[in-house]
Amino acid sequence: MTRSTRLDLSKVPNWPELAAKVKFQAPHLAKYFNVLSRTLERAFREQMHTTPQKALNKFRQAQAEKLVLDRKRTKEVAYQLEYKRVSHFCRQWKHFHGMSVRKWRNERHDFCGQHDGVQI
């Protein structure tokens, strides 16, 4: 049995909650599981076919989407999701979504037949 198979990632009941608990940081996740970062990386590669940080970033962006759709300001979203700088949040958002927060929010509201929270 290899080291990484001892860490069964499928047994985590709520990944989004755990991701937030470890502040979306892979080193904190390794500490949570009480394993070395390298062991965590192997487990993620073998079981989830990604890296720990990429997985945590996906959970972080999913949470960001919810907050953005709730009309939270970009600064509030960045703060709530433990970003040290709003600019880092904006760059990561654009990397994931291919557009700015404002443009993404407006497209989602236009798609739902809403504009500025008013039904059209």
**For every residue of 28-87, which 3-state class applies, written as one string?**
HHHHHHCCCHHHHHHHHHHHHCCCHHHHHHHHHHHHHHHHHHCCCCHHHHHHHCCCCCHH
pTM: 0.82
Domain region containing 23: 3-9+16-119
CATH of residue 42's domain is 1.10.10.60
Total tally of structural domains belonging to the chain: 1
In whole numbers, what is the pLDDT of the chain averaged over residues? 89
Separation between Cα atoms, residue 33 and residue 40, nearest integer Å: 8
- Under the banding of pLDDT at 50, 70 and 90, the label for residue 1 is very low
What is the mean pLDDT of the segment spanning 90-108? 94
